[in-house]
Chains A and B, each alone.
Chain A
Amino acid sequence: MEMVITLLKAYLLFTIGVMLVYSVRHYIFTLNRLFGEQRIYYQDILNSDLKTISVLIPMHNEEKVAANILDVLLLADYDKDKMEIIPMNDFSEDRTREIVDAYAQQYPFIKPLHRYEGERGKPAALNDAIKQATGEIIIVFDADYLPPRGILKNIAVSFQDPEVGAVMGRVIPVNTGGNILTRLLDLERSGGYQVDQQARYNLRLMPQYGGTVGGFRRKVLLDLGGFNTKILAEDTELTYRLSIHGWKVLYANRAECYEEVPEKWTVRARQIRRWSRGHNDVMFRYFFPLLTSPFLSFREKFDGMLLLLVYCVPVILLIGLIDSLFLFFWGDMSIFAGIFFLIFIGAYNTFGNFAPFYQVGTACLLDGVSRRILLLPFLIFNFFFNMWYISKGFFDACIDKLINRKAVWQKTERFRTTSNVEPSV
Chain B
Amino acid sequence: MIKEAKSIILYHRSHRRIAGSLGLFFLQYFFFIVPLFLVVIFFYPYITHVACSLAHAVLAPYFPDATVKILQFPYFLGNASYIDLPGKDPTLFFSLLNALASLALLIFLPTFKKTKHMLIFFTVVAFINFVSSLFFLFFPNRFPYEVVEFSELYIKQQISIWLFIPVITGLAVLPLPSSLASKVITVLVIFLYSLVFGAVRYVVFLFVLGKVSMLYMAIFFFVLGPLIDFVYVVGIYGVYVARLAENMRGNFALWKWS
Q: Which residues of A are at the interface with B, using a C-beta cutoff of 8 A?
A: 27, 30-31, 33-38, 40, 170, 181, 194, 198, 253-254, 256, 264-266, 269, 321, 324-325, 328-331, 333, 336-339, 341-343, 345-346, 349-351, 357-358, 361-362, 364-371, 373-377, 379-382, 384-385, 388
Q: Give Cα distance in the complex from A350 to B229, angstroms.
A: 10
Q: Could you show 23 A-B contacts with beta carbons less than 8 Å apart?
A: A30-B175, A34-B17, A253-B15, A329-B218, A333-B153, A338-B156, A338-B157, A338-B159, A342-B161, A346-B168, A346-B226, A346-B230, A350-B233, A358-B171, A358-B237, A362-B176, A366-B13, A370-B249, A379-B234, A381-B118, A381-B120, A381-B121, A382-B117
Q: How many A-B residue pairs have CB under 8 A?
A: 177
Q: Give Cα distance in the complex from A27 to B171, angstroms.
A: 9
Which residue of chain B is the closest to A255 with respect to CB atoms?
A: B14
Q: Give Cα distance in the complex from A251 to B157, angstroms.
A: 42
Residues B229-256 near A (CB distance < 8 A): 230-235, 237-239, 241-246, 248-249
Contact A351/B230 with A36-B17, A331-B145, A377-B235 known, Cβ cut-off 8 Å: yes
Contact at B157–A31, with CB atoms within 8 Å? no
Give the chain B neighbours of A269 by CB distance below 8 A.
116
User: What interface size band does chain B fall in?
Assistant: 35 or more
Give the chain B neighbours of A357 by CB distance below 8 A.
172, 230, 234, 237-238
Contact at B20–A35, with CB atoms within 8 Å? yes
Contact at B234–A376, with CB atoms within 8 Å? yes
Known: A38-B17, A325-B222. 5 other contacts (CB 8 A): A38-B15, A336-B153, A342-B160, A376-B234, A382-B117
Contact at B227–A380, with CB atoms within 8 Å? yes
Which residue of chain A is the closest to B235 with respect to CB atoms?
A: A377
B64 to chain A, nearest CB (A): 27
Q: Give Cα distance in the complex from A371 to B120, angstroms.
A: 27
Contact A35/B124 with A333-B153, A345-B230, A377-B235 known, Cβ cut-off 8 Å: no
Q: Give Cα distance in the complex from A18 to B22, angstroms.
A: 26
- Interface centre among B17, B25, B143, by most chain A C-beta atoms within 10 angstroms, is B17
In the A-B complex, the 3 residue pairs with the closest CB atoms: A331-B144, A265-B116, A253-B14
Q: Which residues of B are at the interface with A, using a C-beta cutoff of 8 A?
A: 12-18, 20-22, 25, 113-118, 120-121, 123-124, 128, 131-132, 135, 143-145, 149, 153, 156-157, 159-161, 163-164, 168, 171-172, 175-176, 218, 221-222, 225-228, 230-235, 237-239, 241-246, 248-249, 258
Contact at A368–B245, with CB atoms within 8 Å? yes
Give the chain A neighbours of B118 by CB distance below 8 A.
381
Q: Give Cα distance in the complex from A178 to B51, angstroms.
A: 44
Contact at A377–B176, with CB atoms within 8 Å? no
Which residue of chain A is the closest to B20 with respect to CB atoms?
A: A35
Give the chain A neighbours of B168 by CB distance below 8 A.
346, 349
Contact at B245–A384, with CB atoms within 8 Å? no
Give the chain B neighbours of A362 by CB distance below 8 A.
176
Q: Give Cα distance in the complex from A364 to B157, angstroms.
A: 32
B121 to chain A, nearest CB (A): 5
Which residue of chain B is the closest to A333 with respect to CB atoms?
A: B153
Q: Give Cα distance in the complex from A34 to B239, angstroms.
A: 19
B90 to chain A, nearest CB (A): 14
Q: Give Cα distance in the complex from A253 to B161, angstroms.
A: 37
Contact at A343–B242, with CB atoms within 8 Å? no
Which residue of chain B is the closest to A32 with respect to CB atoms?
A: B17
A394 to chain B, nearest CB (A): 16
Contact at A337–B242, with CB atoms within 8 Å? no
Give the chain B neighbours of A374 by CB distance below 8 A.
238-239, 242
Contact at A371–B242, with CB atoms within 8 Å? yes
Give the chain B neighbours of A364 by CB distance below 8 A.
241, 245
A22 to chain B, nearest CB (A): 15
A257 to chain B, nearest CB (A): 13
Q: Give Cα distance in the complex from A362 to B22, angstroms.
A: 15
Give the chain B neighbours of A376 by CB distance below 8 A.
234-235, 237-238
B195 to chain A, nearest CB (A): 15
Contact at B14–A256, with CB atoms within 8 Å? yes
Give the chain B neighbours of A377 by CB distance below 8 A.
231-232, 234-235, 238
